[in-house]
Structure 1
Amino acid sequence: MILTLGLAGIIQTLLVGGIAGYYLSQSLYEETEQRALMVARTVAAAPSVIAGINRRDIPALNRTASRLTATNQALFVVIGDKQALRLAHPDPTRLGRSMADDDGDYGRRALEDGESYVARATGSLGESMRAKAPVIDPETGSIIGIVSVGYSLEQVDTTIQRYNLVFYGVIGLMILATVISAIFISNRFKKAIFGLEPEEIARRFREQEATLQSVREGIIAVNRDGVITMANRAACANLGLPEETELAGRPILEILPESTLLSVLATRKPDFDREVWLRGRKMVVNRLPVRQNNEVIGVVTSFRPSDELHQVSQQLTRIQQYADTLRSQTHEYSNKLHTIAGLIQIGATDEALTLIGSEVSDHQSLLKLLLEAVPDPVIAGCLLGKYNRAREMGLNLDIDPDSAMEDIPDNLPREQLVSVLGNLIDNALEATRQHTGENGRVRLSMTDLGDELIFEIEDQGPGVPDAVQQTIFERGVSGKGEDHGIGLYLVQQFLNRWDGSVTIENLPAGGSRFTLYLPKYQEEGESL
């Protein structure tokens, strides 16, 4: 860049300087021509000159010519008669001789055609710019002589050289300034691009572009004016736009009219893992301000459909529930089989049959209730697993036979809902066992009437003190000791995202009631 900028500046300066010098020389020559022509015409029209030629008063004419030469700073003023014979000349030896012996031009155009003209010639006094004008007698109107006025071209060249010295000095300073500016601009530019060479910048740009397009998350960057500066193909796909749509250069509000992305410019704070609604799909969005010299110059957002994570989470949740259910059933049925085997060995076959019938009846009743009240297999599986878990702990999980949970919104994440229910039921079972021992009961009631889903979970624990109710949903707060206090915190996080709520009530007979409220129809959250 130093060489390019410096060389370009030098060439431009030299071109401008050369052209300016050329026109300066031409102007000086033209000025000298016009000056010589004007003096020649003035001398030719002087009455003293006309009278001197008519009288052939050579001494008077020479005095006049000498005076005019000095006055006009000319090289010479020569006066001749109609035959071009010199009547006045700086060199007395040339008086009376023809003007043609000086430069071959005796002034024919002036003497014969009456024309005033300028010519460049080399004479006895050196190279000069000379003008010739006819002397016309005003009384007769005839040409009676000729005047030749010359200016030395050496003098003109000296003037041009003097101007050129100054001019070349200015050109030199301009070239020096150009080189210094090129060095300064190059250093600033190199600092701005972190000392990288153009080839390195091109390579890194291609690498960045390939990396950006390979990311499955949609990525959009905007400047401080809200204009999109960069977007990958995944962004178009997640926004439901054709993959070839060009987003760069378009305002973000044109693509997403309800976008709050520019609010990050005002807050200057990043925003991570926020769930928002975008074109009818729930997205997990991260927004990060871009800083330069401690100034926010733009925002980058990445977003991905939350249903992808939900699908994986749902699969893991179902696997975990299935494993818990199998473990509980294995443990419970192992105990039951041992009991039945013992009854058969001692001959108490009637009691063994009664126990088998009771067990089958209890599970059939529960399965029938779940099939009728909770058609959703994920929630039903969770409740069945918690029922077996309660039996394993020596407790009873009673599900209100009047419960109904059929009208569950499709966009309500099932894996998060069962996580919330599982945490609340587990806490109720644990509190009941610690307070009552075995044979305690936990009651669950569900209803989907109205605009909310309502879950009531009652336990027989010690209750929740009023002071603890204010902090029980905070992270790390638990009555179980260290390394606890996560479950209810996750419950509260889910409720915050879903605009739900939970209330805690201590029962008169002992224990507590947790009531969970979830709206069926959630308003769409903020956009990107």
Structure 2
Amino acid sequence: MIGRRLRIFGTRRTLSSQLLALQLLIIVAVLVVISGLSLAQASATFQREQGLRVQSAAENLAASPTVRQLLASAQPRIRTALQGAVESVRAVSGLDYAQLTDPDGIIVVATDPSRVGQESAAEGAGARTGRSWTGLAETSTNTAVSPDASVQSQVPVLDADGRIVGVAIVGREYPSVWERLAQSTPDLVIYLAVASVLGAVGSILLARRVKRQTMGMEAGEIVDLVRQRQAMLEGLKEAVVALDPSGRVVLLSRSAHDMLGLDEDGVGRRVEELGLDDRVLDVLRHPSDDGDQLVLTGDRILVFNTVPIEASGRKVATVTTFRDRTELSEVQSKLDISRTSSTALREHIHEFDNQLHTISGLVQLGEYDEVERYVDGITEHRERLTSTVTDRIDDLGVAALLIAKIGAAAARSVTVALDDASHLPRLDDDASRDLCTVVGNLVDNAVDAVLEQNAADAVVRVRIVADADGIEVEVADNGPGIGTEDTDRVFEQGWSTKGTSLDGHGFGLALVRVVCRRRGGEVGVSDRVEDGRRWTVFRAVTGSGGRTR
């Protein structure tokens, strides 16, 4: 059953769990990206906001009258009123540090005493020449080991005469990555929780929808089903072709590919693009209520059965199965020949019974001389009939067939005559069987044709000639003939003047064409006038495949 859970490859995760795991992976990936973007955005925002604060504080410090008056004479590590001015600015602004440097950039006053005597950040060196600067600066004493960054502003300090007497520096320490991440953690946790819930609910709903569409099967079960279907298609001797409503091939088994003689895989292509015969296309596209349909394509006779597949009241596909009936048709033809031979033998047995009764009566009457003449006459007639065939036809199978056909036709008041120009050497077994198929079907078709008009002089002429190129078979009859409009159709499978393919008619001449084409030859029909009578002539050539041994 389709819904049955398969466990060929062990326990598998359900579709919902797989979708949930995939959703969680996507969520984690998205959160990582969002975290990175959040950190970058937070850094930009921090630099912009804190840059304005440190610049304002540095300008206030540089404009302080105390700083402008005392900075020029300030000495490192000597406490003056400058220390109070620096501490006041840092406390009012709420920033991390404030510093004052001499014109050479050496820190003389700082809220952090350990920085006194050190050189200020090189990024703001322009302030020493009169240009204010605000930006990100390294403040670590050992930047190679542990660089610390801060948002810093440096503003030149001018005395009463407008000379640069130093630089006012105010900064805010830049938070580390972990600090910024810790600040964002509450929001990220909320995002993760919401996304996880939504992902889980979405995964469950999606899994239910997918399982409804897949008839309750899990992903692994679908894979197993596809593998089993492929194995089944490869193992089927019958060919399978499936088309969607638009005529596009959705399934093509290997045997179908080989039987139709396709050069490449046709799955996904429209059936009209495969280069198939019109008859094959018609059968594939249009299901028939008549059951099996026989189609001749190339040198094969194929039996097609096409059925529509419907779901929810609408047509969703057309599935066609077909098999090769070429060998079966040839066997059936050989059986027909055997049946004809058996009928002829029964007729001969009946005739022999009558002859034996005649001989018995003559013996009882004591007419022994008459018995001798009667037996000699019978023997001469049989030898003449047999020698007419065997003197020209050396192949035993074909000769036996002709003798049987001649006798069977004679019983139906039809004369089957072998042309004096006929000559046929001994053939190999395959060639002999194929030639019997050709001759038997052509003679039967001719006999049936002359019987249609109930003529008293119904005649069928047979000529068989073998040469280096192959074997030529010509069968002519003085029947009603074939209409010009039907000349091209006479060799089509299922076409017959005696009935339809459902009645078992219309395959003899089609089979003749299959055999001729397989051996590199062809068969045709034409009209000819001789002795004031119109003859219908079938001419079949088996090609080089009819070589003798």
Check whether TM > 0.5.
yes
CA drift of 1:286 comes to 7.7
Give CA-to-partner distance per residue, 1:101-148, whole Å, 9 cap, x none. xxxx9422443224357889xxxxxxxx996979977799877x9765
- Residue in 2 that maps onto 1:516: 538
Two-structure CA RMSD over aligned residues (Å):
6.4
- Residue in 2 that maps onto 1:501: 525
Match of 1:518, SS? strand
1:406 aligns with 2:430: no
Match of 2:422, SS? coil
Q: Is the 8 A contact 1:217 1:235 kept in 2?
A: no
CA drift of 1:418 comes to 0.9
CA drift of 1:16 comes to 2.5
Match of 2:424, SS? coil
* Alignment partners' CA distance in 2, 1:46 and 1:135: 9
Match of 1:113, SS? coil
* Alignment partners' CA distance in 2, 1:195 and 1:504: 71
CA drift of 1:46 comes to 3.4
- Residue in 2 that maps onto 1:115: 120
- Match of residue 13, structure 1, among 30, 35, 42: 30
- Residue in 2 that maps onto 1:455: 475
Q: Structure 1: which 5+ residue stretches go unaligned? A: 83-98, 100-104, 121-128, 240-246, 254-258, 524-528
- Residue in 2 that maps onto 1:4: 21
Q: Which moved more, 1:331-340 or 1:373-382?
A: 373-382
* Alignment partners' CA distance in 2, 1:198 and 1:326: 68
CA drift of 1:422 comes to 1.9
The one-letter amino acid of 1:347's match is G
* Alignment partners' CA distance in 2, 1:111 and 1:484: 114
* Alignment partners' CA distance in 2, 1:483 and 1:236: 29
Query: Identity of paired residues, percent?
Result: 14
The one-letter amino acid of 2:537's match is T
TM-score (norm 2): 0.57
The one-letter amino acid of 2:375's match is I
CA drift of 1:197 comes to 2.5
**Correspondences of 1:33-182 after superposition (within 5 Å):** 38-39=55-56, 41-46=58-63, 48=65, 50-51=67-68, 53=70, 65=89, 74-75=93-94, 106-115=111-120
Q: Is the 8 A contact 1:213 1:234 kept in 2?
A: no
- Residue in 2 that maps onto 1:263: 275
* Alignment partners' CA distance in 2, 1:170 and 1:516: 88
- Match of residue 202, structure 1, among 199, 206, 223: 223
Q: Is the 8 A contact 1:220 1:300 kept in 2?
A: yes
- Match of residue 355, structure 1, among 361, 367, 374: 374
- Residue in 2 that maps onto 1:335: 354
Match of 1:374, SS? coil
The one-letter amino acid of 1:402's match is D
Q: Structure 2: which 5+ residue stretches go unaligned? A: 1-14, 74-79, 102-108, 122-136, 141-149, 285-292, 515-521
The one-letter amino acid of 2:217's match is L
The alignment covers a number of residue pairs equal to 449
* Alignment partners' CA distance in 1, 2:37 and 2:489: 88
**Cα 1:38/1:442, change in 2 over 3 Å:** same
- Residue in 2 that maps onto 1:418: 440
The one-letter amino acid of 2:525's match is S
Give CA-to-partner distance per residue, 1:11-33, whole Å, 9 cap, x none. 22233333434444455555566
The one-letter amino acid of 1:366's match is L
* Alignment partners' CA distance in 1, 2:528 and 2:60: 124
The one-letter amino acid of 1:516's match is F
Match of 2:473, SS? strand
- Residue in 1 that maps onto 2:234: 213
- Residue in 1 that maps onto 2:132: none
- Residue in 2 that maps onto 1:89: none
1:397 aligns with 2:398: no
**Cα 1:41/1:291, change in 2 over 3 Å:** farther
Q: Is the 8 A contact 1:404 1:446 kept in 2?
A: yes
Q: Which moved more, 1:372-381 or 1:310-319?
A: 310-319
TM-score (norm 1): 0.59
The one-letter amino acid of 1:362's match is H
Q: Is the 8 A contact 1:25 1:160 kept in 2?
A: no
Give CA-to-partner distance per residue, 1:445-472, whole Å, 9 cap, x none. 425489953212347xxx6798999999
The one-letter amino acid of 2:446's match is L
The one-letter amino acid of 2:463's match is M
**Cα 1:283/1:113, change in 2 over 3 Å:** same
Q: Is the 8 A contact 2:474 2:537 kept in 1?
A: yes
* Alignment partners' CA distance in 2, 1:265 and 1:339: 61
**Cα 1:228/1:108, change in 2 over 3 Å:** same
